[in-house]
Amino acid sequence: MRKILIAEDNTELNDMMRNYLIKAGHSVYQAFNGAQAIDYARNMRPDLVLLDIMMPVVDGYEVCSTIRRDMNVPVIVVSAIVGEDEKLRMFELGADDYMTKPFSLKEMVGRVNAQLRRYYEFNNQDMPERSYGEMTISSLRHEVKVAGKPVALNPKEFGMLDCLTKNRNRIFSKQQLIDAVWGEDEYIDENTVAVTVARLRDKLSKVGIENIVTVWGLGYKWQD
């Protein structure tokens, strides 16, 4: 489940967008002016932002610029502005896509999912280093640090952490973790996954990291 922030001052449209995204399996937060959008983005760290341009208090140009300065998440503009100059300005500020009102809500969901795949299933897999609060993970060096101090993990513990953090808030079954960490050709029983998760949690809790959550009956996830 990904966190989507809708920044749109039209209450009716905002609610319709929200309903479609919830049906598509996303968690949705709503902002109705630009200042609120910036505050929500900084505090709830969304996985994607749907952003109107003409909003009260702070306009979408400034919101997009602020988001790009503070974080790396996909931004899809949803605006009635059709001018080429305005579109180019948003792209120069860092927008990833632009939808002109009125638009199909089904198409919106499709574009949201496409951007999420591009960012989190492709791009982030290859990032040499990622940060989650005080924790930094280097996939290339197989290294984890918290507040600059290394955390000693064995290869399977690191693989588990690497997989879960690359796919924040996504639930992995034990079998999916076996396939991702041990490999599809290796026979591992599901109890081995539980033991590995328990060891990993214990090591991380000692340095104040407790983001690995059990979703009973389904598996595990890294929860922001």
Binning pLDDT at 50, 70 and 90, where does residue 47 land?
A: confident
Give whole-number Cα distances, 140 to 112, 126, 136, 137, 143, in Å: 29, 9, 12, 9, 8
Which pLDDT score, from 0 to 100, does residue 179 have?
84
β 27-31/48-51 pair status: unpaired
Mean pLDDT of the chain: 88
Other Cβ atoms less than 10 A from the Cβ of 137: the count is 22
Write out pLDDT tens, residues 134-146. Answer: 899 987 778 899 9
pLDDT for the residue 63? 95
Cβ neighbours for 163, distance < 8 A, ≥ 6 positions apart: 172, 177, 180, 181
The predicted-structure confidence for 50-103, as pLDDT tens digits, reads as follows 999 999 999 999 999 998 887 778 899 999 998 888 888 998 888 889 999 999
Q: What's at 22, amino acid-wise?
A: I
Pairwise CA distance, residues 4 & 26, whole Å: 7
Check whether the bond before 74 is cis (ω within 30° of 0). Answer: no
Give the domains, in start order, of the chain with CATH numbers.
3-125 (3.40.50.2300), 128-222 (1.10.10.10)
CB 4 within 8 A of CB 50: yes
What is the reported pTM? 0.58
More confident residue, 153 or 15: 15
pLDDT at 197 over 80: yes
Residue 14: pLDDT band with limits 50, 70, 90: very high
Average pLDDT over residues 27-49: 92
Give percent of the chain above pLDDT 70: 94
Q: What is the pLDDT of residue 186?
A: 59
Please report, rounded to a whole number, the percentage of residues in the chain having pLDDT higher than 90.
Answer: 54
- pLDDT, tens digit (0-9, with 9 covering 90-100), for 101-136: 999 999 999 999 988 887 766 555 555 678 888 899
Amino acid in position 50: L
